[in-house]
Amino acid sequence: MSPDRYQRIRTVLAKRQTDLTVCLENVHKPHNVSAVVRTCDAVGIHRVHTVWEQKYKLRGGTAMGSQQWVRQTNHDNISDALSHLKGQGMQVLVTHLSDSAVDFREIDYTKPTAILFGQEKYGVTDEAIAMADQDIVIPMLGMVQSLNVSVAAALVLYEAQRQREIAGMYNKQHLSEQTCQEILFEGGYPRLYRMCKQKGIGYPPIDENGQIAADESWWQQMQLTPKAMTALKADEAS
């Protein structure tokens, strides 16, 4: 990894927001999911949460590579997802038209926040609405009643980014150094990262110049075949 790429990744990681996230409930069109993830990367979100009845693969073309930089956590059901987010002290906002809904620009996004978006045709489930802390709406002055989910996400997220920028929240690093090291290796050395995953080898440290600072034993393990690596671990465990 070149020093310039190392500094570029470091700059991005320094602005990642760990207390701002999106939760997608059964958003089933892969290009919509990928577009939302691309926006999440653009505004500095570190992790997105999903609830899917079946797993979908993020489309690299629409995501433009952002799926490599935004972590994803999938939950079995919406109750587990929202309980997890609330357990992190986040206010849960849901895009839903109701008597108690407020304009999305009236929300304080400098608070720890999770924004919930629902399935393209039917929106969020009743269970999700019941668990959310606040309904939000995007004002609509035309004949249509809603926006594409990826467009709606972009509008809300850039309002959150605007407020956080004013509050100086992008001037402080939120990610731990360990997490930064993991992302630096995965993004800076993708081929070696895949080999580590295949062989079950731990990640090496990355120095301030973007170079791998591993000892000789790590490099020796990297030379082993997956089969030989498995045998070595079995010997060490016995």
Report helix, strand or coil for 51.
Answer: strand
Q: 235 or 84, which is more confident?
A: 84
Q: Is 73 annotated as a binding residue?
A: no
pLDDT of residue 64: 41
Distance of CA 158 to the CA centre of its chain: 16
What residues pair up with 74 in beta bridges, in sequence order?
50
77 and 132 share a domain? yes
Q: Is 95 annotated as a binding residue?
A: yes
Residues in the chain: 238
117 and 156 share a domain? yes
In the structure encoding, which two tokens stand for residue 199, read together?
A: 């062989």
pLDDT of residue 124: 82
Q: How far is CA 35 from CA 76, 138, 179, in A?
A: 22, 19, 24
- Burial class of residue 192, CB neighbours in 10 A (0-12, 13-18, 19+): middle
Residue 140: pLDDT above 90?
no
Counting residues of the chain whose pLDDT is more than 70, the rounded percentage is: 90
Quick one: pLDDT band at residue 119, thresholds 50, 70, 90?
Answer: confident
pLDDT of residue 63: 40
185 is in which domain, residue-wise? Answer: 177-237
Q: Is 115 annotated as a binding residue?
A: no
Domain-embedded: residue 91: yes
Angstrom distance (rounded) from CA 190 to CA 9: 14
Average pLDDT of 78-83? 94
76 and 101 share a domain? yes
User: Nearest Cα to 130, choosing from 96, 87, 84?
Assistant: 96
Quick one: pLDDT band at residue 143, thresholds 50, 70, 90?
Answer: low
The domain total for the chain is: 2
Domain-embedded: residue 4: no
Q: 229 or 173, which is more confident?
A: 173
